[in-house]
Amino acid sequence: MQTEEAPASADTHCPYCALQCAMTLSAPDPEAGPHEAPLSVAGRFFPTNRGGLCKKGWTSPVVLGSPDRITEPMLRRDDGGFSPTTWETALDLIADRLIETRERHGPDSIGIFGGGGLTNEKAYLLGKFARVAVGTSRIDYNGRFCMSSAAAATTRAFGLDRGLPFPVADLDSARSILILGSNMADTMPPILSHLAGARSAGGLIIVDPRRSSTAKLTEDGAGIHLQPAPGTDLQLLLGITHVVLAEGLHDRDYLAERTSGLAELQRSVAQWWPERVQSVTGVPAWQIRQVARRLAEPGGTYILTGRGVEQHVNGTDTATAAINLSLALGLPGRSDSGYGTVTGQGNGQGGREHGQKCDQLPGYRKITDPDARRHVAGVWGVDPDSLPGPGLPAVELLASLGEPGGVRCLLVHASNVVVSAPNAGSVIAGLKRLDLLVVCDFFLSETAALADVVLPVTQWAEEEGTMTNLEGRVIRRRLAIQPPPGVRTELWIIAELARRLGSDAAFDTDPAVVFDELARASAGGPADYSGLSHEILDAGRPAYWPFPAGSRGTPRLFAESFAHPDGRARIVAVQVEAPAERPAGPGELTLITGRLLEHYQSGAQTRRVPELTLAQPEAMLQIHPSTAAEYGIADGDRVELSNARGTVLVRAMTTTDVRTDTVFLPFHFPGEESANLLTLDATDPTSSMPEFKTAVVRLRPRL
């Protein structure tokens, strides 16, 4: 339970994306008239946002006072509705059902699904709860849908996965920045101030099949927009790398001293000359050469990837190809250059470091590593052999719901899988097959609406904790307002359930104490937090991990060596494989999905902010005017998009920003507008990342 008094004002960070913009929350001025929100917000200077916030951040306190807020546990009635109940009754019921299921079907019949929005403390305790109190291996989280391909690629290449291995402010001095598959002008606008230097030098290069808000920043001489056909980013990267090597633009000394695998890279890109790449991607050969030459110019060059190129069945290989290009140019580990991936969710970085992933223990340790198991089991006070092995990654875990031998009871935290998971129709069917679905949320989200038990939890401004931003910097989240009576933190819920399940292990509810335990569990691991505490973070020390005891943290990684035992980065040659789904044929289009400025992820929070829903009330299908005319569709018409997985009904918005062979749909909306009814649950063989970005669809007007 939250016991601290709310202060008059609190310096904290935005609840949404991984930029984690700094803000100050305080009680609204009563003289200033009626308030929409229980707190007022002011942007606060921090090196990432420099005092700026986007629309989502400015309106974030509105969600705290939403009339939709759940403030009591709720139980499903026989007639399908919900009835409020006491915490005692709800937790007893859940524990009894879990114990019974575990006895009858084994611990792996219980699944836990976490989220990249959970604080580090919650993510850590959830992983411990799964493995110690429940004894299940079946834990994974929605970050599998976001960061897993980039994480797999950077681990493979550098031996370590920290999204940006340098502070965001390092981008300021770059002359050239290549951004692949990230629409940061909509998803995290304050970051744009860091692109100004590259834009004024004419060196902002955006790869996106859409003329997105970010791609438009390249206009008027500020840079170059490459618009490849959807699903051909890998070929484009192989083509740029081909030019770098063929024209001798690579950094020979760097490659010799700091990498291994150049010969394989040379062989793998040899067949991807620019004219061939043009025939596959549609990007002109001259532009491929222009970009390769620009990236090789002195003055600082960064290469950044985002979900647009990572959320594919070849996402790990595409991110690897971007890393290979950066290594060929000698960028990673240099003080003015580098490669990074732009993390999406608020705690997408910390959320993947402390044990929510099915194959990991805290500190980014592998669950299969005997030393890691011994260390973490020692901190937890349990026998290392009692810890389960690797579980199932998110898509497989969700596919097992209610199936023979699969998960029968599922606990969901900070995730709205009904809207955000691929092939959402089959996920909904799985959730309905469960014996027990428990959802912790602040609202009756689309997933909570299917639950047997809904537990109301605190929001970001109602709790203490830590997050780790896209730079690997650990920051404090602070209490600014007391939660409504009846609402509890996940730490309390986890502790109460662990006690009822008969666990002897400690499950503290004080975030500072949980953080100290997390820090001990992470000691010696790749993501080492052992030199950190809430107290140190409160003193305002920039805390980039690894931050072992006695250290000053690590703002820039790889300056001396990479994290592989020999200190070298691995160039892993990658090939073009068959796509998950055949290319669109006659009468078909390729659907790509993405985000809007006004909404965040499944929209469960931002769709409850009137100002944001007024601006973007519904999912609109972006379609080229000539394509629309071909299908007999006018701007604003209702249309039906369908494939074997599902059907979506939305209105059309004609725009020349999309290619004629492609349509775009935001994925923030539920029900008949839900883009993920159409996406594929085929996954990347290395990262288990699903294919979100390309799906073949049929389109027809809906009168």
The 232-271 site mask, x for binding ligand SF4 (CB under 6 A), equals ----------------------------------------
Which CB, 155 or 420, lies closer to ligand SF4? 420
Q: Is 63 in the site for ligand SF4 (CB under 6 A)?
A: no
Which CB, 116 or 332, lies closer to ligand SF4? 116
Which CB, 57 or 472, lies closer to ligand SF4? 57
Separation CA 117–CA 413 (nearest Å): 9
Exactly one of 12, 46, 56, 528 binds ligand SF4 (CB under 6 A); that residue is: 56
Which CB, 54 or 157, lies closer to ligand SF4? 54
Closest contact distance (angstroms) between CB of 346 and ligand SF4 is 7
Which CB, 228 or 306, lies closer to ligand SF4? 306
Candidates 49-57, 436-444, 540-548, 668-676: pick the segment binding ligand SF4 (CB under 6 A).
Answer: 49-57
Separation CA 434–CA 429 (nearest Å): 9
Which CB, 14 or 410, lies closer to ligand SF4? 14
Closest contact distance (angstroms) between CB of 612 and ligand SF4 is 11
Kind of pairing between the strands at 110-114 and 139-141: parallel
Q: Residue 697 to residues 108, 438, 602, 679: CA-CA distances in angstroms?
A: 36, 34, 21, 10
Which CB, 58 or 82, lies closer to ligand SF4? 58
Beta strand extents in 342-497 (DSSP E only): 360-361, 365-366, 409-413, 436-441, 453-456, 465-468, 474-477
Q: Is 17 in the site for ligand SF4 (CB under 6 A)?
A: yes
Candidates 12-20, 141-149, 209-217, 588-596: pick the segment binding ligand SF4 (CB under 6 A).
Answer: 12-20
Q: Is 20 in the site for ligand SF4 (CB under 6 A)?
A: yes
Closest contact distance (angstroms) between CB of 469 and ligand SF4 is 9
356-377 CB burial, b ≥16 within 10 A, e <16: bbbbbbbbbbbbeeeebbebbb
Q: Is 53 in the site for ligand SF4 (CB under 6 A)?
A: yes
Candidates 18-26, 164-172, 473-481, 573-581: pick the segment binding ligand SF4 (CB under 6 A).
Answer: 18-26
Candidates 53-61, 115-123, 158-166, 608-616: pick the segment binding ligand SF4 (CB under 6 A).
Answer: 53-61
Which CB, 13 or 162, lies closer to ligand SF4? 13
Residue of minimal CB distance from ligand SF4? 57
**Could you say which DSSP state residue 304 is in?**
E
Residue 423 sits at φ, ψ, to 5 deg, of 50, 55
Token digits for 95? 């524990």
**Which amino acid is residue 212, in one-letter code?**
S
Which CB, 19 or 153, lies closer to ligand SF4? 19
First to last CA, the chain: 53
Closest contact distance (angstroms) between CB of 518 and ligand SF4 is 23
Number of residues that bind ligand SF4 (CB under 6 A): 14
Closest contact distance (angstroms) between CB of 489 and ligand SF4 is 21
Which CB, 41 or 90, lies closer to ligand SF4? 41
Exactly one of 49, 503, 616, 679 binds ligand SF4 (CB under 6 A); that residue is: 49
Q: Residue 30 to residues 44, 65, 252: CA-CA distances in angstroms?
A: 22, 16, 65
The CB density around residue 166, as the number of other CB atoms within 10 Å, is 26
Q: Is 571 in the site for ligand SF4 (CB under 6 A)?
A: no
Closest contact distance (angstroms) between CB of 472 and ligand SF4 is 16
Which CB, 188 or 377, lies closer to ligand SF4? 188
Closest contact distance (angstroms) between CB of 138 and ligand SF4 is 31
Q: Is 188 in the site for ligand SF4 (CB under 6 A)?
A: yes
Candidates 133-141, 188-196, 427-435, 495-503: pick the segment binding ligand SF4 (CB under 6 A).
Answer: 188-196
User: In 3D, which of 554, 455, 474, 490 has the Cα closest to residue 141?
Assistant: 490
Cα dihedral: 362, 368, 372, 375 (round 10)? 90
Token digits for 527? 């993501």
Q: Is 292 in the site for ligand SF4 (CB under 6 A)?
A: no
Q: Is 16 in the site for ligand SF4 (CB under 6 A)?
A: yes
Q: Is 19 in the site for ligand SF4 (CB under 6 A)?
A: yes
Which CB, 37 or 224, lies closer to ligand SF4? 37
Candidates 50-58, 553-561, 623-631, 664-672: pick the segment binding ligand SF4 (CB under 6 A).
Answer: 50-58
Candidates 154-162, 183-191, 195-203, 238-246: pick the segment binding ligand SF4 (CB under 6 A).
Answer: 183-191
Q: Residue 596 to residues 170, 606, 689: CA-CA distances in angstroms?
A: 27, 11, 22
Chain centroid offset of residue 105 CA: 32
Q: Is 442 helix (H, G, I), strand (E, B) or coil?
A: coil
Token digits for 184? 């940061």
- Per the document, the length of the chain is 703
Closest contact distance (angstroms) between CB of 16 and ligand SF4 is 4
Token digits for 628? 């629309």
Q: Is 190 in the site for ligand SF4 (CB under 6 A)?
A: yes
Which CB, 377 or 475, lies closer to ligand SF4? 475
Separation CA 283–CA 274 (nearest Å): 9
**Which amino acid is residue 513, in one-letter code?**
V
Closest contact distance (angstroms) between CB of 181 and ligand SF4 is 18
Token digits for 634? 């006018």
Candidates 10-18, 292-300, 411-419, 557-565: pick the segment binding ligand SF4 (CB under 6 A).
Answer: 10-18
Q: Is 14 in the site for ligand SF4 (CB under 6 A)?
A: yes
Candidates 29-37, 185-193, 285-293, 672-680: pick the segment binding ligand SF4 (CB under 6 A).
Answer: 185-193
Closest contact distance (angstroms) between CB of 2 and ligand SF4 is 23
Q: Is residue 144 within 8 Å of residue 268, measured between CB atoms?
A: no
Q: Report which secondary-structure segment, H or E, holds 536.
A: helix 534-538
Would you list the DSSP string of 359-376?
Answer: TEETTTEETT-HHHHHHH
Q: Residue 42 to residues 36, 65, 173, 190, 416: CA-CA distances in angstroms?
A: 15, 17, 28, 14, 29
Closest contact distance (angstroms) between CB of 66 and ligand SF4 is 17
Exactly one of 2, 10, 39, 57 binds ligand SF4 (CB under 6 A); that residue is: 57
Q: Is 439 in the site for ligand SF4 (CB under 6 A)?
A: no
Closest contact distance (angstroms) between CB of 190 and ligand SF4 is 5
The CB density around residue 541, as the number of other CB atoms within 10 Å, is 13
Binding to ligand SF4 (CB under 6 A) within 508-537 occurs at: none
* Residue 113 β-bridge partners: 140, 412
User: In 3D, which of 20, 698, 692 has the Cα closest to residue 348?
Assistant: 20
- Over 600-647, what HEC string results? CCCCCCHHHCHHHHHHCCCCEEEECHHHHHHCCCCCCCEEEEEECCEE
The CB density around residue 386, as the number of other CB atoms within 10 Å, is 12
Closest contact distance (angstroms) between CB of 600 and ligand SF4 is 6
Residue ranges binding ligand SF4 (CB under 6 A)? 14, 16-17, 19-21, 49, 53-54, 56-57, 188-190
